């Protein structure tokens, strides 16, 4: 056994954001699913514990049109914000400080979130929430019979893309809180989605360090380095 790495991996559950590799943006990425289309409550990862927590009940009848979650070991920071500003023409954007959001298309139904899957990016929505870049990558579930052959977002049903747009433009509008400035400045295809994912991985490594260094640091702390 390669102590302490194998010992820890067998005894402890990996943190969904920090403890799981993101995969390859060119091929398939790993996605941690937080909510499914039938959810009437919005669940969100608790960043400290790694557990799902209730963010809020859905206040309107709007429900997510697809599986929704994030790619582990990604972060919407300076590089993602710079790309959003460059492509949208909106100055002084910053990243929203969360992992990269992903909508995963599948013909299958899922009872609840809190699981991992592999998906291939086909495009995305360049969403700007106030002064924050908040991209939504669109992907297809690996080997999905209904959507698995789609390679680029322009091949997806237009009505589904319209539903995604409507959901993200409306789901943060809280009753009585006044209008919230949310816009989708661009709907982009696979190549741009790959670029955004790469930038989010780079932002993560810049903000949290290289994940592969963590084992070395742990070994050093335990006197095995």
Question: How sure is the predictor about 189, in pLDDT bands with cuts at 50, 70 and 90?
Answer: very high
**Angle value at C-alpha 49, between 43 and 52, nearest 5 degrees:** 15
Q: What are the backbone dihedrals phi and psi of residue 133, each rounded to the nearest 5 degrees, phi first?
A: -75, 130
- Look at residue 126 in the predicted model and tell me its pLDDT: 98
Enumerate the β-bridge partners of residue 6: none
Residue with tokens 């398939």: 28
Q: If you count them, how many residues does the chain have? A: 225
Residue 121 to residue 26: CA distance in whole angstroms: 8
Structure confidence by residue, pLDDT tens digits, 56-98: 887 776 788 999 999 999 999 999 999 999 999 998 899 999 9
- According to the 3-state scheme, what is the secondary structure of 119-143? EEEEEEEEEEECCEECCEEEEEECC
Percent of the chain with pLDDT over 70: 90
């Amino acid at each position: 056994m390669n102590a302490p790495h194998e010992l820890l991996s067998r005894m402890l559950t990996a943190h969904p954001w920090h403890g799981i590799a993101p995969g390859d943006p060119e091929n398939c990425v790993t996605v941690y699913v937080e909510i499914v289309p039938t959810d009437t409550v919005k669940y969100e990862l608790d960043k400290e514990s790694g557990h799902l927590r209730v963010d809020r009940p859905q206040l309107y009848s709007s429900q997510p049109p697809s599986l929704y979650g994030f790619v582990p070991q990604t972060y919407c920071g300076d590089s993602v914000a710079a790309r959003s500003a460059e492509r949208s023409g909106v100055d002084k954007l910053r990243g929203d400080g969360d992992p990269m959001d992903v909508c995963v298309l599948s013909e299958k139904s899922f009872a609840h979130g809190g699981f991992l899957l592999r998906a291939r990016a086909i495009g995305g929505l360049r969403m700007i929430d106030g002064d924050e870049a908040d991209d939504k990558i669109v992907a297809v579930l690996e080997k999905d019979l209904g959507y698995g052959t789609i390679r680029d977002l322009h091949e997806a049903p237009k009505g589904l893309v319209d539903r995604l747009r409507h959901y993200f433009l409306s789901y943060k509008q809280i009753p009585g809180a006044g209008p919230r400035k949310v816009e989708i400045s661009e709907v982009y295809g696979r190549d741009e989605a790959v670029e955004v994912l790469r930038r989010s991985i780079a932002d993560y490594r810049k903000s949290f360090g290289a994940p592969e260094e963590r084992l070395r640091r742990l070994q050093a702390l335990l006197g095995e380095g």
